Amino acid sequence: MESIKKYFLKDMSVMFGRSMRHIFRSMDTIITVCITPIAMMLLFVYVFGGAIKTGTENYVNYLLPGIMLMAIGSGIAYVSYRLFIDKERGIFQRFHSMPIARSTVLWGHVLTSLISNGISVIVIILVALLMGFRSSAGILEWLGVFGILGIFTLALTWVAVIAGLAAKTPDGAGAFSYPIIFLPFISSAFVPTDTMPSVVRVFAENQPVTPMVEAIRNLLASKPVGNDIWVALAWCIVIMLVAYSFAMKAYKKL
């Protein structure tokens, strides 16, 4: 058992290194992921922010959690695309002929997604600081924020794995991310849900993005998070487990 675990970790580190080299050789992917969320943040803060009533003095503080989730939703599309390219080039068949743990090929992409999206989030936070974002959160609160973002990234990345393995075209591999990027618009990310029409409000308050946004926002403001953090984590864990199951089934069919 110990030997199997040792070789699994060794194989996974090799696959992780392979995927990370792809990222560092094309840093434009991280730049591209950051551009749209930062543009949205600039637009809403400096153009629409004065007309939006959120009950807070600093709109960028209110907006930032949703922008970070949008960036992650955009970033996972590249995981799907890279998996599709590997599939089309027959890379998986080559790896299957080698004495390595098969699942490590997928885990390499997943862990790379975690790192690359983490870099994107940090860049967005730095830009938000230049725009006036301020937080009273301590170390534990910041760890909680990055913990939620990390689990959210893992959950969506496994969804991206399914799309990448099932897609028939490169465009199809990344198209699944559009609804995910759109979800923050129908949540409390940009405006309070109580300003929405009743039908839209019901959807906004019962979809996964809203409790994540509220939990992150309260953590950054050093306020009690209530049940939002547990609802957010429950959503992420359920999505991750279901997506992982379907992803592994799709992978075994290759």
Q: What are the pLDDT digits (tens) for 176-216? A: 788 888 889 999 999 998 889 999 999 999 999 999 999 99
Which pLDDT does position 68 carry in this prediction? Answer: 94
The pLDDT, as a whole number, for residue 243 is: 94
Q: What is the pLDDT of residues 72-123, one digit of tens each?
A: 988 888 888 888 888 888 877 777 777 777 778 888 889 989 998 999 999 9
| Burial letters 130-158, b for 16+ CB under 10 A, else e | ebebebebeeebeebbeebbbbbbbbbbb
CB proximity list for 229: less than 8 A, separation 6 or greater: 144, 148, 211, 215, 219
- Model confidence at 49: pLDDT above 80: no
Query: For residues 183 and 209, is the Cβ–Cβ distance under 8 A?
Result: yes
Q: Which pLDDT value is given to residue 6?
A: 60
pLDDT at 3 over 50: no
Residues 6 or more apart whose CB falls under 8 angstroms from that of 23 comprise 29, 30, 112, 115, 116
For residue range 132-175, list pLDDT tens digits in order: 999 999 999 999 999 999 999 999 999 999 998 888 888 777 78
Judge contact between 140 and 207, C-beta under 8 A: no
Report phi then psi at 134, rounded to 5.
-135, 145
DSSP reduced 3-state for 246:
helix
Question: Quick check: 133 and 40 in contact, CB under 8 A?
Answer: no
Q: What integer pLDDT is reported at residue 141 of this predicted model?
A: 94
CA distance 254 to 161: 13
Query: What pTM does this model have?
Result: 0.88
> Which pLDDT belongs to residue 124?
94
| pLDDT grade for 27, boundaries at 50, 70 and 90 | low
At residue 214, the pLDDT reads 94
Query: Domain count of the chain?
Result: 1
Residue 1: predicted pLDDT = 42
| Model confidence band, residue 2 (pLDDT cutoffs 50, 70, 90) | very low
Residue 146 is predicted with a pLDDT of: 95
Give the largest Cα separation in the chain, rounded.
Answer: 61
Mean pLDDT within 13-37: 77
Domain hosting residue 150, numbered range: 2-252
What distance in Å separates the CA atoms of residue 166 and residue 121, rounded to the nearest whole number? Answer: 28
